[in-house]
């Protein structure tokens, strides 16, 4: 269920509701969260959103630039911009 996805799993709400029945701690959801819309949907349901695979994918795409002293700063800024776009209103 994890990894970058175009849309959220249609069974996600049912799954999270089931888990909630057995837990009393706040929850965060991280099943394929990769867009601003995914984050908004998860937050509307009252959960935290974990964006892992999307960030790893962006880092992998910029691997060479991140290893280059001349391109590193620009690559880091690109990644920061993408992450910020997931959470800013």
| Structure confidence by residue, pLDDT tens digits, 45-75 | 888 999 888 899 999 999 999 999 999 999 9
Mean confidence (pLDDT) of the chain: 88
Check pLDDT > 80 for residue 89.
no
Terminal-to-terminal C-alpha distance of the chain:
27
Q: Would you call 31 helix, strand, or coil by DSSP?
A: coil
Q: What is the pLDDT of residue 21?
A: 92
Band the pLDDT of 2: cuts 50, 70, 90.
low
81 by Cβ neighbours in 10 Å (0-12 / 13-18 / 19+) ranks as exposed
On whether the CB atoms of residues 60 and 66 are closer than 8 A, the answer is: no
Q: Is residue 11 pLDDT above 90, yes or no?
A: no
Q: Sorting pLDDT into bands at 50, 70 and 90, what band is 83? A: very high
């Amino acid at each position: 269920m994890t990894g970058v996805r175009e849309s959220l799993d249609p069974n996600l709400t049912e799954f999270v509701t089931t888990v909630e029945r057995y837990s009393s701690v706040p929850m965060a959801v991280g099943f394929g969260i990769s867009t601003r819309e995914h984050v908004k949907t998860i937050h509307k349901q009252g959960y935290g959103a974990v964006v892992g695979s999307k960030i790893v994918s962006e880092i992998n795409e910029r691997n060479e630039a991140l290893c280059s002293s001349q391109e590193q700063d620009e690559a880091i800024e690109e990644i920061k911009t993408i992450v910020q776009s997931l959470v800013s209103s």
